[in-house]
Structure 1
Amino acid sequence: MTQFTAALMPHLMLAPILLPLLTAALMLLLREERQRVKLALNIGATLLGLVISIALLLWASVPSGPSTMGVYLAGNWPAPYGIVLALDRLSAMMLVLTSTVALASVLFAAARWHRAGVHFHPLFQLQLMGLCGAFLTADLFNLFVFFEIMLAASYGMLLHGSGRPRVQAGLHFIAINLAASSLFLIGVSMLYGITGTLNMADLAQSIPHIADADRGLLHAAAGILATAFLIKAAMWPLNFWLVPAYSAATAPVGALFAIMTKVGIYAILRLWTLLFSVEAGASAHFGSLWLVGGGMVTMAFGAIGMLGSQRLGHLAGFSAILSSGTLLAAAGFGQNPLTAGLLYYLPSSTLAVSALFLLTDLIERWRNDGASLAPYEQGDDAPFLNAQLVPTEGLNLDDDEEVLIGQVIPAAAAFLGLAFMACTLLITGLPPLSGFVGKFAMLTALLNPQGLGASQGYQPGAAGWMLLGLLIASGLMALIALTRAGIRHFWAAHGRATPALRVLEGLPIAGLLLACVALTVQAGPAMHYAQATADALHTPGRYIEAVMSAAPVPPPAAVPSGNTSTREAP
């Protein structure tokens, strides 16, 4: 890495936050009639954000060790007194995932949905700002700030397109998230009262030295804070709001919301491994059993919900819940190989759920607009299964004028069918796509325990066997539900007109699925990245050292030659 690049990259950490903020401010200065200009700005800023995120990912994954980090002191005050941004492998991965889903969503919205309401584009960029800020911040107060920016934008995004179902679901969504925000503030206030700091690294240093008399209060504060995160992560029974809200949203908004549940997962994974690691003394692994148990119940709830769903939007919503439950349960075990497996599974499942939300809009539109009334055109007395009622125009017939091999599948219908099949394979964890690789990695880790179950003398542990069974059973239940939906919408779809599919609608779906294919083809490097990320998460001392030792930049006259980087390396 050149000296110029080393000096530039830390400042580039600000770009995922400042770029959407400035873009949203610029679009608010434009009149609402300038939709094309706003759309171009939105797509351009999102694409540039993806390029920047990839550059940060490459920077965070240089082969100098799993703890490679970038630390940026935004106010040039040392931690824990000033605002600190921290970039490691986990936050870089989440930035790339967010930008990928966002680009697919805005391209899909460009076909029609961005015109369904006002201020779609600035709200979209403000939500990206909140998401990226939550992944980069290194203190709890600014995490709350970015959470609120993200949620405030999501309220408007959910109501985009109006209609009674969206308004009703939006009111429930707002109410539950306001309650979560209140819990967030209460938990943060209690932690500050006990430790005197909100910097994550400083908190991790303080927790092992908390007096025994205050440790119960510390655990209560952590539990309240975790409840706020678990609401966002859709853990049962706190996830009753998700399916009605996500299924009522417009397709591009639902696809973008798929990443919002992962913000709760990220916060839990970041804070739990940092504050309650093996180095936390008497508080080590606090809440692990709750994560494992709650995650497994959430998995069962999501799988049963998929079996009971008749609407594709509900199927996609319960798929997001199933994904969140899987990640939470796996995270609670606290073992490196299992964490690596879930980190590989996380982007794969998120991309698949986002693609399913986009597909839902196209399939439902095709179903509602292309329904055939052919069986009723010859009168109500005609038998429903009369062969004469089956339209024969355009079909291949034999010598007896009977249908021989059926009608040629239109290209648009074939694309929808293949995309739906790919989503099914990814969500259920069937080979050969990345969903199978992620689940197989987690199953392998469960059968070779190195964490909680092994330390308690289980092989691999009662909880491990339960999670192993649920991974297989939930995948089977999801397969039944999605296969049934596929049969109803594709196999038994007779007499429909050819689906109207625009390039801007098919391209983002294909892009999301191709990203999953790329994860499959590059499974080796991706798993190495996930394992290095898991190793860094489970050795929080290096994160703490990088943040706490970051020095402010001295005045220009005092800067030694060639020492302008805030880069922290082991």
Structure 2
Amino acid sequence: MSQVQWIDTIAGLMPHLMLAPIVLPLLTAALMLLLREEQQRLKLGLNLLSTLLGLAIAVALLAWSARAGSPATLGVYLPGNWPAPFGIVLALDRLSALMLVLTSFVALACIVFASSRWHRAGVHYHPLFQFQLMGLAGAFLTADLFNLFVFFEIMLAASYGLLLHGSGRARVQAGLHYIAINLAASSLFLIGVSMLYGITGTLNMADLARAIPQVTAGDRGLLHAAAGILATAFLIKAAVWPLNLWLVPAYSAATPPVGALFALLTKVGVYTLLRLWTLMFSSEAGASALFGGPWLIGGGMLTMAFGAIGMLGSQRITHLASFAAVLSSGTLLAAVGFGQTELTAALLYYLPSSTMAVSTLFLLADLIERWRNDGTRTDADDEDAPFLNPELLPTQGMNLDDDEEVLIGRVIPAAAAFLGLSFMVCTLVITGLPPLSGFVGKFAMLTALLNPLGLGTSSGMRLGVSGWSLLALMIGTGLLALIALTRTGMRHFWAAHDRATPQLRVLEGLPIAALLAACVALTVQAAAVMNFTQATANALHAPGTYVRAVMEAAPIAAPLVREAP
């Protein structure tokens, strides 16, 4: 087989591979449920293998979506072989492929970190983990609201078990609040979907995009009410203020790898709002064009302020990470509401780097807190190490600190240096300081805000109050986040001279290094990534290609059966 034939064969298999991110974790979880709870090593191996394979598949799908001929080309798969809008439809474009890769990569880092000890804290950790991945993948790939609700419930049901993993009063209390809030959100989801179906007669996203411009003026208000109710359910998941009071207690109470994985859940809400808003209320939606944009902008900016103030008042690193997730989500929501292609491209660049940085901060919180609680004995208290006691050494001519202790000869342990450098990189990405990807993403968003119609225009007169407010908030919240993270870093690293050397396992350091290396890679490859996100944003804000691809996808014809003579 020639190279061209091989490439054509792989390209022909790609549409069928779209089902793998859903089926693979489903089968893996089902297999692990058949195993005894004592077979933890086997379950861990299956979890790692399935997640790694899922990452490879997601990368292949991303490469396929990026190398497609048309900038807006996407893959459509009909699992039941029924055409839209009557059957189940899966659709893959650049946005969904990007979210699949991000989910698989963060999930792999979380399961590697959990393999050191956290996966043994409770039962059914590994099946719940895989069901969580199944729900996330389904939410990114589905093309109709009914199946979006199904995958949302799978994702939430798994998150309930993962949040309670390890038991404890704090987890149970936070878990009950988390479950109650999400059940209310699910009820709003159903109400909104039912109203939309009653008005338009369809739940397929592409079909909704075609039906909304044709809604009569008398039903327009009811349509907007249904969209508002549905959006509220997604805004709860996206942690918009004031519907996000459940997030910090829940995420900080979860075990560290679960908290790191939960950093993805707020991005599911952002993804869904971006997907539905650009489809249902695009510039082609007639009288409903850009409906709800000012609400997204206002809610996002209030969420940014809440997240930054929360970070400033936090004393625990897990609380810092939780409020950082809120701040990131608010930034994305506010940017989505402007409906500007360049701004959407910039926020899609910012989304993966901020998510990975927040996930890393959750993992670091575990290691730093464990180091903090290991004790306060130092080598200076050891009688066998008199060289660290200034009273037993001649100090004349040596560099001393304020306590007259010798500075020269103090070696920073490798584990402590790794934790400190990792925390510093997280700080740079979350606050948007140069030179890493957080700065590139925020700078791109600021540039898009200042030049809404492109370079060379009188953008200052067109920016408006909301634009200037978001610009000021992005700078101000970054400053508040910097103060909060710097203060925490000083308390845990600079003033941590009386602690024992931290104990760091390879399985704990490796996922942290991988997540931060990915942030660095986004910085190095910023031009290529921005080109990708720009093509993604162009396709989102011109949904005609998506609508045609889904609605015109033809079922596979049944093979002809010859009658026997």
- The reply on whether 1:533 has 2:533 as its aligned counterpart is no
Of 72, 86, 96, which residue of structure 2 is paired with 1:81? 86
The match for 2:421 is 418
One-letter amino acid of the structure 2 residue matched with residue 429 of structure 1: G
- The reply on whether 1:243 has 2:248 as its aligned counterpart is yes
SS in structure 2 opposite 1:556?
A: coil
Of 284, 290, 295, which residue of structure 2 is paired with 1:285? 290
* Conserved 8 A contact 1:370-1:499: no
The match for 2:25 is 20
CA 1:371–1:557 in 2, change beyond 3 Å: closer, same or farther? farther
* Conserved 8 A contact 1:62-1:68: no
SS in structure 2 opposite 1:86?
A: strand
Report which structure shows greater RCO (CA 8 Å, sep ≥6). 1
Find the aligned partners of 1:247 and 1:290 in 2 and give their Cα distance. 28
CA 1:462–1:190 in 2, change beyond 3 Å: closer, same or farther? same
Find the aligned partners of 2:55 and 2:128 in 1 and give their Cα distance. 18
CA 1:163–1:434 in 2, change beyond 3 Å: closer, same or farther? same
* Conserved 8 A contact 1:126-1:153: yes
* Conserved 8 A contact 2:415-2:502: yes
Deviation of the 1:65 alpha carbon: 2.4
The match for 2:407 is 405
Deviation of the 1:450 alpha carbon: 3.1
SS in structure 2 opposite 1:300?
A: helix
The match for 2:436 is 433
Find the aligned partners of 2:458 and 2:282 in 1 and give their Cα distance. 14
* Conserved 8 A contact 2:378-2:499: no
Pairs within 5 Å for 1:339-354:
339-354=344-359
The match for 1:269 is 274
Find the aligned partners of 1:265 and 1:280 in 2 and give their Cα distance. 21
The match for 1:44 is 49
The match for 2:480 is 477
SS in structure 1 opposite 2:407?
A: strand
Pairs within 5 Å for 1:8-407:
8-372=13-377, 398-399=396-397, 402-405=404-407, 407=410
CA 1:74–1:480 in 2, change beyond 3 Å: closer, same or farther? same
The match for 2:524 is 521
The match for 2:490 is 487
CA 1:398–1:184 in 2, change beyond 3 Å: closer, same or farther? farther
* Conserved 8 A contact 2:450-2:459: no
* Conserved 8 A contact 1:374-1:391: no
Deviation of the 1:403 alpha carbon: 2.4
- Deviations for 1:244-290, whole angstroms, at most 9, x for unmatched residues? 00000000000000000000000000000000000000000000000
Find the aligned partners of 2:396 and 2:425 in 1 and give their Cα distance. 34
Find the aligned partners of 1:230 and 1:372 in 2 and give their Cα distance. 48
The match for 1:464 is 467
- Deviations for 1:217-257, whole angstroms, at most 9, x for unmatched residues? 00000000000000000000000000000000000000000
Find the aligned partners of 2:44 and 2:147 in 1 and give their Cα distance. 29
Deviation of the 1:397 alpha carbon: 5.2
One-letter amino acid of the structure 1 residue matched with residue 166 of structure 2: G
One-letter amino acid of the structure 2 residue matched with residue 108 of structure 1: F
Deviation of the 1:505 alpha carbon: 0.2
Find the aligned partners of 1:193 and 1:89 in 2 and give their Cα distance. 31
Find the aligned partners of 1:511 and 1:178 in 2 and give their Cα distance. 35
Find the aligned partners of 1:354 and 1:394 in 2 and give their Cα distance. 46
SS in structure 2 opposite 1:75?
A: coil
Deviation of the 1:461 alpha carbon: 1.4
SS in structure 2 opposite 1:501?
A: coil
One-letter amino acid of the structure 1 residue matched with residue 122 of structure 2: G
* Conserved 8 A contact 2:389-2:405: no
Deviation of the 1:51 alpha carbon: 0.2
Equivalent pairs counted in the alignment come to 545
The match for 1:383 is none
Find the aligned partners of 1:78 and 1:117 in 2 and give their Cα distance. 44
- Deviations for 1:523-549, whole angstroms, at most 9, x for unmatched residues? 000000000000000001110000000
One-letter amino acid of the structure 1 residue matched with residue 508 of structure 2: E
SS in structure 2 opposite 1:369?
A: coil
Find the aligned partners of 2:499 and 2:389 in 1 and give their Cα distance. 11
Deviation of the 1:371 alpha carbon: 2.8
- Deviations for 1:465-518, whole angstroms, at most 9, x for unmatched residues? 110011100100000000000000000012100001000000000000000011
- The reply on whether 1:449 has 2:452 as its aligned counterpart is yes
* Conserved 8 A contact 1:391-1:495: no
SS in structure 2 opposite 1:78?
A: coil
SS in structure 2 opposite 1:92?
A: helix
Find the aligned partners of 2:448 and 2:392 in 1 and give their Cα distance. 54
Find the aligned partners of 2:191 and 2:393 in 1 and give their Cα distance. 67
SS in structure 1 opposite 2:406?
A: strand
Deviation of the 1:373 alpha carbon: 8.8
Find the aligned partners of 2:131 and 2:339 in 1 and give their Cα distance. 34
5+ residue gaps, structure 1: 378-387, 559-570
- Deviations for 1:285-306, whole angstroms, at most 9, x for unmatched residues? 0000000000001000000000
- Deviations for 1:70-119, whole angstroms, at most 9, x for unmatched residues? 00001000000000000000000000000000000000000000000000
One-letter amino acid of the structure 1 residue matched with residue 376 of structure 2: A
Deviation of the 1:370 alpha carbon: 3.0
CA 1:416–1:392 in 2, change beyond 3 Å: closer, same or farther? farther
- Deviations for 1:114-167, whole angstroms, at most 9, x for unmatched residues? 000000000000000000000000000000000000000000000001111000
SS in structure 1 opposite 2:518?
A: helix
The match for 1:568 is none
* Conserved 8 A contact 1:396-1:404: no
- The reply on whether 1:556 has 2:554 as its aligned counterpart is no
One-letter amino acid of the structure 2 residue matched with residue 338 of structure 1: L
Deviation of the 1:555 alpha carbon: 1.3
Q: What percentage of aligned pairs have identical amino acids?
A: 75
Find the aligned partners of 1:198 and 1:257 in 2 and give their Cα distance. 28
Find the aligned partners of 1:359 and 1:456 in 2 and give their Cα distance. 42
SS in structure 2 opposite 1:258?
A: helix
Report the TM-score, using the length of structure 1 for normalisation. 0.93
